[in-house]
Amino acid sequence: MVAGADPNPGAAAARGELAGKEVQMESQVDPLIAMLVDGLDEAFDHRSWHGTNLRGSIRRVTVEQARWRPGSGRHNIWEIAVHTAYWKYAVWRKLTGATRGSFAFKGSNWFARPVRGEGDEAWAADVKLLVAQHRQLRAAVRELAPAPLERPFAGSICTAAQLVRGVAAHDLYHAGQIQLLKRLQRRG
């Protein structure tokens, strides 16, 4: 053991100390809520063990890459990005009780992108939409009360915790899909 080292580093972390530095502890956040927020963030834009997350998969994607389709009738990266923004919105709406119809585009699930004539500015705006929907969802999850997280919504078999875990898994699924589309483009 290193001289002066804490024999129980877990205890040091619990006290808010790590490597001699104070760590900001969010004591007012329930541990389950914190875990759900961490899962959302790791799937979207925080460093994690699994590799590329959703935000990382679209980082430095050009408008040409975003609009490329692997075949007729197949989705492109751009459509996948807006699709994931929509489902973040849908989960936020379910968690908050907000009414339908406030998403940036009319419709649901899949949206044809780009619309004729759209380019760099529209791609950048849709990426900003995705980031904004993530932030909105993240804020709503942080405000959830821990007690009802595991109770199904009225008329549903899904709980709030399942929806949040599911949308994080959805991000990772589509991050992998985008990574594959980028590789296919390089081959084609």
Paired tokens of 140 = 């709503």
pLDDT value for 46: 96
* More confident call, 187 vs 61: 61
pLDDT value for 188: 66
pLDDT value for 155: 85
Q: How far apart are CA 37 and CA 138, in angstroms?
A: 6
Is the dihedral angle over the CA atoms 63, 64, 65, 66 positive or is it negative? positive
Q: Specify the long-range contacts of residues 29-38, CB closer than 8 Å, at least 24 apart.
A: 29/142, 30/146, 32/146, 32/149, 32/161, 33/141, 33/142, 33/144, 33/146, 33/149, 36/141, 36/144, 36/149, 36/161, 36/164, 36/165, 37/138, 37/141, 37/142
Q: How far apart are CA 161 and CA 149, in angstroms?
A: 5
Residues 94-114, mean pLDDT to the nearest whole number: 94
Pick the CATH number of 29-187 from 3.50.50.60, 1.20.120.450, 3.40.190.170, 2.70.70.10: 1.20.120.450
Residues 159-177, mean pLDDT to the nearest whole number: 97
Q: Give the domain ranges of the chain.
A: 29-187
Give bridge partners of residue 159 from the DSSP assignment. Answer: 152
pLDDT value for 166: 97
Q: Up-side HSE of residue 106: CA atoms within 13 Å toward CB?
A: 0
Residue 154 CA, distance from chain mean position: 25
pLDDT at 106 over 90: yes
Q: Which residues of 8-19 are buried (b: 16+ CB within 10 A; e: fewer)?
A: eeeebeeeeeee
- C-beta separation of 142 from 29 below 8 A: yes
pLDDT tens, residue by residue, 129-156: 999 999 999 999 999 998 889 889 888 8
Q: What is the mean pLDDT of the chain?
A: 87
pLDDT at 3 over 50: no
pLDDT tens, residue by residue, 10-20: 444 443 443 44
pLDDT value for 27: 55
pLDDT tens, residue by residue, 38-70: 999 999 999 988 889 999 999 999 999 999 999
Residues 81-86, mean pLDDT to the nearest whole number: 98
